[in-house]
Amino acid sequence: MRCVEDALSRRKLLTGVLGLVGCSDRFNSASETGEEGTMLGTVPFTDEQADLEVVSGEGLDGRLYTDLSKLKDDALVTPNETFYIRTRYPDLLDPNAPWKIALGGLVESPRDLELADLAPKVKKDLGPFVMECSGNGSGAGFGMLSAARWSGVLALDVLSMVNVHPSAKRVLVSGFDGHSKPSERSTPGASWVFTFDELARAGAFLATEMNGAPLPRDHGFPVRLFVPNWYGCTCIKWVDAITLVDDDVPATSQMQEFASRTHQNGTPALARDYLPATMDQAAMPVRIEKWRIGGALVHRVIGIMWGGYQVTDKLAIRFRDDERFVPVDVHPKQTTNATWTLWSHDWRPNVTGEYAITLRVDDPAVPQKRLDLGFYRRRTAVTQTRQV
């Protein structure tokens, strides 16, 4: 790492004055070379006009988009107030009624679980985990993506509270979706079917707390499902039923609605024909800073990588489709796929004009469906090159 090798001694000298530590501050303010530059401002992405961090709409059309440009290495958890929202608290829910989850289907004796039954099994601080809406996109400033620390009860611990019949092969998790206003875009009735193995492998849990506070209403109060590394559409909010089912159950309306966004082969009729709605390795830029460093202009592109099934050090970037991909600088190294990791890249374009920023992982062994599709491409206009 250039930063460590060349700049550490100089940085040490500066540390006392500027309060900088190592070079992880690169995502915040200091220059990569250790030579102090001046940040001149930020450059916007082209054609992205989403209103960020304001709640809009109601019920199934309720939204809030997280402002990812604020991500910094000391601010990698999204506060509850600005965590993205897809579907707001159903107005037909009574927040004061005692909560019950009907645990039934192919079990010996069905029962209603109360919050008091779950409380002793809550595991604190299971996170941080990212969650992304499978319908994320430029219309939302790509802000249907956030990370939080979660507490909750592992799904397998919930299932161990009943005797499961041997014919039970899958688990249907359903949430309340009573909205008095019909939606303009979405189908009500949130539910998803999982195998035991999928729940176990993902470490799925019924979340009761988010960032150390009770779940906010819009995020599923009092109980939601969280499936680490699966798309948000599987993370059912206001969970009110868990039903053990056999291998022939139909796909739910939610699974069908989200089939293309979770990259299924068509829209299968049966739950067992769905692929896990997991997130392949993904990455995108979230902020472009303009710096003057030693008389030269540098566009510092800051971004995130998330999703994926194994850590990688092969993330690469290009700015035009006819360019070669060059490695980006991930520091500190990616150590987990559970939450996002920051990267940065100092870019010195020679000509002004429009650029399309594309990332990919230079490793054929790493599944990256959405990167292959150019799903997270963001464009920017360069109005100034080299000299300042």
Q: Is 241 a residue that touches ligand MTE (CB under 6 A)?
A: no
The residue whose two tokens read 């460590």 is: 4
Q: How far is CA 70 from the centre of its chain?
A: 15
Q: Is 228 a residue that touches ligand MTE (CB under 6 A)?
A: no
CB closer to ligand MTE out of 17 and 97: 97
The residue whose two tokens read 């402002």 is: 67
Q: Is 171 a residue that touches Mo ion (CB under 5 A)?
A: no
CB closer to ligand MTE out of 87 and 281: 87
Q: Is 87 a residue that touches ligand MTE (CB under 6 A)?
A: yes
Q: Is 282 a residue that touches ligand MTE (CB under 6 A)?
A: no
> Considering only 57-65, 161-169, 233-241, 246-254, which stretch makes contact with Mo ion by CB under 5 A?
233-241
Residue 147 C-beta: closest distance to ligand MTE, Å: 11
State how far the Cα of 308 lies from the Cα of 343, in Å rounded to an integer: 16
Whose CA is closest to 98, among 119, 120, 113? 113
Closest residue to Mo ion, judged by C-beta, is: 133
For residues 357 and 377, the answer to whether their CB atoms sit within 8 Å is: yes
State how far the Cα of 327 lies from the Cα of 314, in Å rounded to an integer: 7
State how far the Cα of 28 lies from the Cα of 51, in Å rounded to an integer: 24
The H or E element spanning position 360 is strand 353-361
Binders of ligand MTE in range 312-371 (CB under 6 A) = none
Q: Is 233 a residue that touches Mo ion (CB under 5 A)?
A: yes
Q: Which one of ligand MTE, Mo ion, none interacts with residue 238, CB within 5 to 8 A by kind?
A: ligand MTE
State how far the Cα of 379 lies from the Cα of 357, in Å rounded to an integer: 6
Q: Is 232 a residue that touches ligand MTE (CB under 6 A)?
A: yes
CB closer to ligand MTE out of 37 and 135: 135
Strand ordering across the sheet containing 341-347: 38-42, 282-293, 296-306, 341-347
CB closer to ligand MTE out of 132 and 346: 132
Whose CA is closest to 199, among 242, 145, 237? 242
Q: Residue 159 pairs with which residues in a beta bridge?
A: none
How many beta carbons lie within 10 A of that of residue 345, not counting itself?
Answer: 23
State the DSSP code for 348.
-
Q: Is 133 a residue that touches Mo ion (CB under 5 A)?
A: yes
Q: Is 66 a residue that touches ligand MTE (CB under 6 A)?
A: no
CB closer to ligand MTE out of 33 and 191: 191
Q: Which one of ligand MTE, Mo ion, none interacts with residue 237, CB within 5 to 8 A by kind?
A: ligand MTE
Binders of ligand MTE in range 168-207 (CB under 6 A) = 175-177, 190
Quick one: which of 194, 238, 340, 355 contacts ligand MTE (CB under 6 A)? 238
> Considering only 149-157, 229-237, 273-281, 312-320, which stretch makes contact with ligand MTE by CB under 6 A?
229-237
State how far the Cα of 239 lies from the Cα of 99, in Å rounded to an integer: 9
CB closer to ligand MTE out of 133 and 330: 133
Q: Is 235 a residue that touches Mo ion (CB under 5 A)?
A: no
Tokens of 295: 């008389």
How many beta carbons lie within 10 A of that of residue 178, not counting itself?
Answer: 12
Q: Is 257 a residue that touches ligand MTE (CB under 6 A)?
A: no
Amino acid at site 173 = V
Quick one: which of 26, 34, 78, 86 contacts ligand MTE (CB under 6 A)? 86
For residues 85 and 218, the answer to whether their CB atoms sit within 8 Å is: yes
State how far the Cα of 177 lies from the Cα of 187, in Å rounded to an integer: 10
Q: Is 101 a residue that touches ligand MTE (CB under 6 A)?
A: no
Q: Which residues contact 111 (CB under 8 A, 6 or more apart)?
A: 103, 104, 161, 162
> Considering only 68-76, 160-168, 235-243, 305-313, which stretch makes contact with ligand MTE by CB under 6 A?
235-243
Give contact residues for ligand MTE (rule: CB under 6 A): 60, 84-87, 133, 175-177, 190, 219, 232-233, 235-238
Give contact residues for Mo ion (rule: CB under 5 A): 86, 133, 232-233
